[in-house]
Structure 1
Amino acid sequence: MKKLLLFTITIFVCLNFYSQHTYAFFGSFNRDKDTEGIFVYELDTINGNLSKVTTVKGILNPSFLTLSPNGKYVFACTESKTPNGGKVSSFEFNPENKTLTFINSQKSGGENPVYLTTHNGGKWLVNGNYTEGSVSVYPILDNGIIEPFVQNFQFSEGSINPGRQDRSHIHSTVFSPNFDYIFFPDLGADKIRAYKFESKKNEPLQVAEIPFTKTSLGSGPRHFTFHPNGKFAYCIEEMGGAVSAYSYENGKLNNIQRINTHSEKYKDDFESSDVHISPDGKFLYASNRGNENNIAIFSIQNDSTLKTIGYQSIKGKHPRVFALDPSGKFLIATNAQSGTVVVFKRNQETGLLKKIREKIKIKEVSCVQIRKY
Structure 2
Amino acid sequence: MKSKVSLLIAIIGLIILNSCKVEESKNEEVLFVGTYTDNGSEGIYRFHLNLGTGELTNQTLAAKIKSPSYIAFSPDKNSLYAVSEVNDYKKDDGSITTFRVKDTSLVYVEEQSTHGAHPCFVGVSNDGKLVAAANYTGGNVAVYNALENGNLKPSPQIIDHKVLDTTRKAHAHMSSFLNGELIVSDLGLDRIKKYILSNGKFIPSNQKELVVAEGAGPRHFVSSSDEEFLYVINELNSTITMFQKEESKYYGKKTYDTVASDFEGESFCADIHLSPDGKFLYGTNRGENTVVIFKVDKTTGNLELVGRESVKGDWPRNFTIDPTGKYVLVANQRSNNIVVFNRNAENGTLSFVSQVDLPSPVCLKFY
Aligned to 1:168: 170
AA in 2 matched with 1:29? Y
- Correspondent of 1:26 among 19, 30, 33: 33
1:116-162 alpha-carbon deviations (Å, 9 max, x no partner)? 111111121011001121011111223332222430011126889xx
- Partner of 2:51: helix, strand, or coil? coil
> Which one has the largest radius of gyration?
2
**Normalising by the residue count of structure 1, what TM-score does the alignment of the two structures yield?**
0.88
SS in 2 for 1:299: strand
Q: Distance in 2 between matches of 1:7 and 1:64?
A: 45
Match in the other structure for 1:93: 101
Shift of 1:15: 6.8
Number of the residue aligned with 2:44: 38
Residue matched to 2:238:
241
Give the stretch that moved more between structures: 237-246 or 206-215.
206-215
User: In the alignment, which residue of structure 2 is the partner of 1:296?
Assistant: 292
Which TM-score applies when normalising by structure 2? Answer: 0.89
> Which of the residues 86, 89, 99 maps onto 1:80?
86
The answer to whether structure 1 residue 364 and structure 2 residue 360 are counterparts is yes
Separation of aligned partners in 1, 2:68 and 2:120: 9
- Alignment-derived partner of residue 193 in structure 1: 193
- Name the SS of the counterpart of 1:156 in structure 2: coil
Change (3 A) 1:64 1:250: farther
Aligned to 2:315: 318
Matched, 1:307 2:304: yes
Asked whether 1:153 is paired with 2:159, we answer yes
Q: 1:209 to 1:15 in 2, by over 3 A?
A: farther
Amino acid in structure 1 at the alignment position of 2:172: I
Question: Which sections of structure 2, spanning at least 5 residues, go unmatched?
Answer: none
**What is the Cα deviation at residue 74 of structure 1?**
1.2
Relative to structure 1, the CA distance from residue 267 to residue 243 in structure 2 (aligned partners, 3 Å threshold; closer, same or farther) is: farther
> Residue in 1 aligned with 2:333?
336
SS at match of 1:171: strand
CA contact (8 A) 2:126 2:177 kept: no
Query: What RMSD, in angstroms, separates the aligned Cα atoms of the two structures?
Result: 2.6
- Residue 297 of structure 1 aligns to a residue in which SS? strand
CA distance in 2, matches of 1:272, 1:67: 24
- Matches of 2:267 and 2:255, distance apart in 1: 15
Q: CA deviation at 1:79?
A: 4.1
Asked if the contact 2:41/2:359 (under 8 Å) is kept, the reply is no
Supply the distance in 2 between the matched residues of 1:35 and 1:325 (Cα, whole angstroms): 24
- Equivalent AA in structure 2 for residue 26 of structure 1: V
Task: Give the paired residue count.
Answer: 355
- The 8 Å contact of residues 62 and 105 in structure 2, kept in 1 or not, is answered as no
In 1, are the aligned partners of 2:99 and 2:107 still within 8 Å (CA)?
yes
Judging changes above 3 Å, is the alpha-carbon distance between structure 1 residues 239 and 23 closer, same or farther for their aligned structure 2 residues?
A: same
Task: Give, in angstroms, the shift of residue 187 of structure 1.
Answer: 0.6
CA distances 1:80-106 after superposition (whole Å, capped 9, x unpaired): 3657230011112222xx421211111
Partner of 1:356: helix, strand, or coil? strand
